[in-house]
Structure 1
């Protein structure tokens, strides 16, 4: 269902910290025109941790409204409380979203048994397809290969976004998961290698400002045209690196504002704007990437 470059979309805000619909419309249309496969709305990059549940749902519904069925929308619905995940997921049933992205519970560090029960119960309480999201650097908890394999056979769990950057995991998982279980990278720096090893795509931060390039690179890779794909990735490699020089989404929001994809570079506290010492690094990475600006 989901292949290629999927953007982990930023949530544009105005000077008062409210959702900026005008900027959201601009960046969504940018992705539609540049071939992005799908949008993840209100994931980590969309500042899910600092939006209220009402705002969370509002952004997802605005994204659906603006996209107008021209691009699939995946809703970030993760929480460290199982019942909260279920409540949010059920509120989005019949909304038009294509799937949910559910992050490994953060802070409370459950056991593998707890993780299995958490995701299984969510899947059993909804008809919406579920994509697991493993990002231990942010959650402090790792979803093991064994638990992923076990969860892959649960109805409604259709894939995983793996942001560990550990490419060895693909061969440990792929032979044992159910047929058509999606393996999606969550790490831009290793995404191309991930696809070459058998993955179907990437949920990308870089794609926020390099939609055309990430889309083309993934399409080439999925057609086994890795020489051409690596030429594009070489131009983007510094972006992949420096867009994480401070906590995501601090650098990507700064870059999106610089490229006039959003009107204001506003983040919710405790996230603050990019440090001035890092401006030049991202500037140089943008220049080296030679981004297509036809749709800015």
Structure 2
């Protein structure tokens, strides 16, 4: 599937687990079907929301294979291929390509970080190796490092660089890289609370945690903005801000998995170090879900 013109809402899908910690494929099938039936524009698997940092390579590839086969072209599948080890990201990218994902998400190297040239070569190594469109992932709050404006400029010219997922939360940074955006290289908001502001600076849409529970609404919000229906798009963003804040009142994906559990899509199971949310935060989440009509 050609991702060149991909816009709108890409869900950062969670990975359901059984009580024994194994992957819950029955629930995975259910949430994939929910996304497809509600018009999501793309499905990201094995990202931060998918708890891929706690999964083995074999589990990653099994989830990717399941998603590709079960979605069967109804929506593009983007596989998270990130690692703080460039060789590992390279190997995982090639394995996901062989399975049949439509694109890749590559994160900045966390923990060991790197210098300017090392950051560039981390991404370029994967971009050179694959025949898939790749989204660069900038989230310094998680990784402790950021893609410099100069490196965004350099990487944006690579034929396999599709876009950047921008989750720094800095509108100044977004404004500084906006000149890199064109028909060949785009941007997706990586922050659910800043979708409309980033789209006003040229983003094509969002890679969204929120879309796990409201895929139709997030899709329609992006669609409205791109169609010039700005008031409708802004109204959705503003109406759902309390819910978005509640989805991040504890570290992602703890609240969104609890929300999906409250909607009977899965069990709220995590892999350590993630742990079920505090009851007072769960109460806050349920109130926010009730306010937008997700719960009675």
**1:1-296 equivalences in 2 (<5 Å):** 1-177=5-181, 179-262=183-266, 264-291=267-294
Q: Is the 8 A contact 1:80 1:108 kept in 2?
A: yes
How far apart are the structure 1 equivalents of 2:123 and 2:183?
19
User: Cα offset for 1:292?
Assistant: 9.7
How far apart are the structure 1 equivalents of 2:274 and 2:247?
15
How far apart are the structure 2 equivalents of 1:123 and 1:156?
6
- Paired residue secondary structure (2:40): coil
How far apart are the structure 2 equivalents of 1:196 and 1:133?
20
TM-score for the superposition, normalised by structure 1 = 0.95
Q: C-alpha offsets along residues 80-99 of structure 1, whole Å, 9 cap, x if unaligned?
A: 00000111111122422111
How far apart are the structure 1 equivalents of 2:150 and 2:188?
17
Structure 1 portions without partners, runs of 5+:
none
State the 4+ residue runs in structure 1 displaced beyond 6 angstroms: none
How far apart are the structure 2 equivalents of 1:287 and 1:146?
44
How far apart are the structure 1 equivalents of 2:97 and 2:215?
28
How far apart are the structure 2 equivalents of 1:186 and 1:176?
17
Q: C-alpha offsets along residues 29-83 of structure 1, whole Å, 9 cap, x if unaligned?
A: 1111111100000100000100001101111111111111111000000000000
Q: Decide whether aligned partners of structure 1 residues 182 and 29 sit closer, same or farther in structure 2, where only a CA change above 3 A counts.
A: same
Structure 2 portions without partners, runs of 5+:
none
Q: C-alpha offsets along residues 129-160 of structure 1, whole Å, 9 cap, x if unaligned?
A: 11100000000111111111111112211110
Q: Is the 8 A contact 1:4 1:215 kept in 2?
A: yes
TM-score for the superposition, normalised by structure 2 = 0.95
- Paired residue secondary structure (1:93): helix
Q: Decide whether aligned partners of structure 1 residues 112 and 161 sit closer, same or farther in structure 2, where only a CA change above 3 A counts.
A: same
Give the total of aligned pairs.
292
How far apart are the structure 1 equivalents of 2:37 and 2:238?
23
User: Cα offset for 1:178?
Assistant: 5.4
Q: Is the 8 A contact 1:235 1:290 kept in 2?
A: no
